[in-house]
Structure 1
Amino acid sequence: MNPIVVREYAYLTTSLVQNTLDHAQVPESAFDWLCGLEERRTKGGRLLSVVGRNELQLRSFVGVLESPCGQVIEILPKHHDLDDPEPARALMCRLIAGALNLPPHEADEAGLRLFRTPLSEWIMGRFLTALEHLLKRGLRFDYLRVEEESRYLRGQLDIARQLRQPPHKGHLLHIRHDVFLANRPENRLLKKALDAVARRTRDAQNWRLSHELSGVLRELPASQDTEQDFRKWHDDRLMVHYRPVKPWCELILRQQLPHSVHGDWRGISFLFPMERLFEDYVARWIHRHLQNGARLVTQARRHSLCRHRGREMFQLRPDLLLEQGDRRWAMDTKWKRLDATAPAQKYGIAQGDFYQMFAYGHHYQGGQGDMALIYPKGRDFSEPLPPFEMQRGLRLWVLPFDLEAKMLLLPQSWTDEPLPLKITSARAL
């Protein structure tokens, strides 16, 4: 069954249509599973909306869904109108690499590759590469206490149990000893993830490498309690070489994801909200360009909109809060395509976002200074908009972030005192 590749807000139907990135046909079994998946969700945003008896519309989530019937649906970002999945897939891989907190060079490397395979194969390939490098450095072994009956004395004799030994077993000794084994939580999780990849991959290179590595780990047992073993994962200095493989292991085993698909079916299914991916990517980029003495706070929770009966109500949480000395800049990121040529339609900006920024400006900046709403750069939004005067001394800027060039575009004159970022020009960072 061929994978279906679509993008955000695409329509899926059981009717016969020509498959595109915005409209595709799915089997009835996959359609029913998707509808049931939405009904079983108890938290997080909506994954889809049912439009009719045989049609549904996806929401702003990206990732991979695999139905029990074997239909794989890859959902890509809707960043441009081109009917070509490869640029969108490359962008999504770069955003996911950033969301997994990978080192900057690894995240950048992900964005420079040519992506001609589905997202799930890319993730499995990254896991296998990281696991191969780990095995070259060697698995971490640990001592495991073993208690058994033996004909020979080894380690310590368990005197209490030996005294209770029945006469017909007098020739056997109850002993305790330590065995130096690789059977520890981290390795059991890697084994389980590797087994999953070996079963599900359809890429020839991933299949070959996964089976080669399976031979190396054939003596290891797979994890029987994934959640418990993740809690026992050590991150001390002796486990530094395990850090690159951990996020990919978590991703494959559906642990610690922004949104993952749970249930009886255990196919490879994981979804990321694009709003969160975009926010994480911008925050990570700004953090790498901070000047000395400046700091970035994400999801600050210092103020609330009001107090009621002595308690704070309606917490104010700007996505990004830049600080340098006693100056602050509140910022929010929005994954939405603006149209700078339509001022009559307010450029597509939601009025509620302005109310929210006005509250941030008063509580976090004392009603003075500059704030920013950051949107992805698009065909109709390639330059910063003129500033919005909230009140005297409080301005709101609407800025584009260029995801291809990986830079935040600034106006020619932000203020007399610019952002505390390392910049090379007044136009772009």
Structure 2
Amino acid sequence: MTKQNNISVFEHQRLHVGQFGFKQSHLDALLKLNEYHDGNYFEPIAKGIKFNQYVGVIQVDGLTIEINPKADKSDDDYKWKGVLLKMLTACGKLKAESSGAANVKRQNLNLLEVYFELYLLEVESLVRKGLIKQYRKQTKNTKALKGKLEFAGHIRKNIVHKERFYTTHQVYDSNHFLHQILQKALSIVTQFTNGSRLQDLVNRVQINFPEVDNKSITAKQLNEIQLNRKSNSYKNALELARLIILNYSPDISSGKEKMLSLLFDMNDLWETYILKQLQKACEGTDIEVSGQESKSFWGSNSLRPDLVLRQGKKTFIIDTKWKRPQKSSASVSDLRQMYTYCRFWDAAKAMLLYPGDYAENKFKSYLTDDYSKHTSDETSEIDHQCKMGFVSVLSNNGELDSNIGKSILQIASLHPAK
């Protein structure tokens, strides 16, 4: 097996061929992966790549690349190591009780190993409790006539063996689609865990798992899975299997090794994290929090602010921005976007929310400040106002700040009533 090399980088960092064991074959594979995903993951540069806002891990051709989140280039790197796992847990994308997640710093595990361990433990639990059986159709030769006789196939296959019947009939066993999905993911995990701490667990799960047909599985099939009361216990394992299968790229790697990437858009993750923290802070109060509300704008286009907060007749708009502004003020395009949200949602105030040391500036009116120079729209009966707010993701002890929701309400000048 190829010796594994590990590279740890941060979002928006550059990586060139020749650095840390990064080869031309790795670059070729990553560029193909990027092309497959519409160029979202990286920016090609001379003999290298520049990472975008996607964070996570990529494993290809003996190389593991960990991409860590980092809100601002001036931050200390050590602050952000391990933040991704904590945010994924807080957003419900990772189980808090995972031993891999708990020991990620001590054992220097990467995100793939954590998800692999979670998946293997889920499958092992299902096997221990007893795997379900389902009815399925099977077409084959039998010694007794049962089901539907496939006449053309029977003539073709049994012209000599008169004692056989080529039929389509129902079978009740473990060789059904749900288990075929789990086995497909197991085979992928096996490829990427040889020689690792998880190899014994993989072998144990594989030995106890029933033999099933190896079939191609599409994203459409994975998205159309319907569980019932009997199969509902498979939910977590199938979600993890779906994640593993859809991020496996056997045809992209330039070498013999296959590629597996597990990447998350930090913009989406930051938005989800803030939404959940605000919902937690406003639970049992008179403030209602919703995310991704949509209103028709022009034809098939729609407007969709990240967060909408309502308190009585007051509406407040928040747009989350993971990357902090280069200057002390927001861009004109961001201000126009927030102004449009205010108009369509009849909101008097809006805020652009960034990660960083706790800070804020005063609400400013669009009609009396510099923004009015960039727009001729002065017909609103509401004096729409906007501000920039910054909240610290981490507390002083390096953990996720459990009071971040309350801090946001304070910046927004919203005072919840029980």
**Normalised-by-shorter TM-score class:** 0.7 to 0.9
Deviation at 1:207, TM superposition (A): 1.1
Equivalent of residue 364 in structure 2, options 371, 388, 396 = 388
Give, in whole Å, the separation in 2 of the partners of 1:108 and 1:394: 43
Secondary structure at the aligned position of 1:3 is classed as: strand
Q: Which residue of 1 aligns with 2:351?
A: 372
Q: Which residue of 2 aligns with 1:358?
A: 339
Equivalent of residue 164 in structure 2, options 172, 178, 181 = 172
Secondary structure at the aligned position of 1:359 is classed as: helix
Give, in whole Å, the separation in 2 of the partners of 1:46 and 1:246: 26
Give, in whole Å, the separation in 2 of the partners of 1:208 and 1:353: 52
Q: Which residue of 1 aligns with 2:389?
A: 398
Secondary structure at the aligned position of 1:233 is classed as: coil
Give, in whole Å, the separation in 2 of the partners of 1:236 and 1:175: 29
After superposition, give the CA deviation of every residue in 1:34-78 in whole Å (9 maximum; x if it has no partner): 34544x34636351241x3x34422221122233x3322111111
Secondary structure at the aligned position of 1:230 is classed as: helix
1:91 paired with 2:73, answer no
Is the contact made by 1:13 and 1:55 (CA closer than 8 Å) also made in structure 2?
A: yes
Is the contact made by 1:90 and 1:113 (CA closer than 8 Å) also made in structure 2?
A: no
Equivalent of residue 270 in structure 1, options 256, 259, 262 = 262
- Aligned residue identity for 2:305: P
1:43 paired with 2:38, answer yes
Q: Which residue of 2 aligns with 1:315?
A: 302
Deviation at 1:312, TM superposition (A): 4.3
Give, in whole Å, the separation in 1 of the partners of 2:389 and 2:55: 25
Deviation at 1:149, TM superposition (A): 3.6
Secondary structure at the aligned position of 2:236 is classed as: coil
Secondary structure at the aligned position of 2:389 is classed as: strand
- The 1:221/1:312 distance shift into structure 2, 3 A limit, reads closer
Is the contact made by 1:185 and 1:223 (CA closer than 8 Å) also made in structure 2?
A: no
Q: How does 1:266-305 map to 2 (within 5 A)?
A: 266-292=258-284, 295-304=288-297
Equivalent of residue 56 in structure 2, options 63, 76, 96 = 63
Q: How does 1:2-401 map to 2 (within 5 A)?
A: 2-15=5-18, 24=20, 26-38=22-34, 40-41=35-36, 43=38, 45=40, 47-50=42-45, 52=46, 54-67=47-60, 69-79=61-71, 81-84=75-78, 88-97=80-89, 101-102=92-93, 106-107=95-96, 113-115=102-104, 116-152=108-144, 155-156=146-147, 158=149, 169-173=161-165, 177-201=169-193, 204-227=196-219, 229-254=221-246, 263-265=251-253, 266-292=258-284, 295-304=288-297, 311-312=298-299, 315-324=302-311, 326-337=313-324, 345-346=327-328, 349-366=330-347, 368=348, 370-377=349-356, 381-391=357-367, 392=383, 394-401=385-392
Q: Structure 1: where are the runs of 5+ without partners?
A: 18-23, 305-310, 340-344, 423-429
Is the contact made by 1:384 and 1:410 (CA closer than 8 Å) also made in structure 2?
A: no
RMSD of aligned Cα (Å)? 3.6
Secondary structure at the aligned position of 2:58 is classed as: strand
Deviation at 1:273, TM superposition (A): 1.8
Length-normalised TM-score, structure 2: 0.77
- The 1:346/1:156 distance shift into structure 2, 3 A limit, reads closer
Give, in whole Å, the separation in 2 of the partners of 1:60 and 1:41: 17
Give, in whole Å, the separation in 2 of the partners of 1:66 and 1:383: 39
After superposition, give the CA deviation of every residue in 1:329-358 in whole Å (9 maximum; x if it has no partner): 21111112468xxxxx425x3332222112
- Aligned residue identity for 2:207: G
- The 1:237/1:172 distance shift into structure 2, 3 A limit, reads closer
Is the contact made by 1:279 and 1:333 (CA closer than 8 Å) also made in structure 2?
A: yes
Q: Which has the higher contact order (CA 8 A, sep 6+)?
A: 2
Is the contact made by 1:66 and 1:269 (CA closer than 8 Å) also made in structure 2?
A: yes
Q: Which residue of 1 aligns with 2:371?
A: none
- The 1:60/1:231 distance shift into structure 2, 3 A limit, reads closer
Q: Structure 2: where are the runs of 5+ without partners?
A: 368-382, 395-399
State which drifts further: 112-121 or 209-218: 112-121
Percent identity over the alignment is 21
Is the contact made by 1:90 and 1:114 (CA closer than 8 Å) also made in structure 2?
A: no
State which drifts further: 227-236 or 245-254: 227-236
- Aligned residue identity for 1:396: K
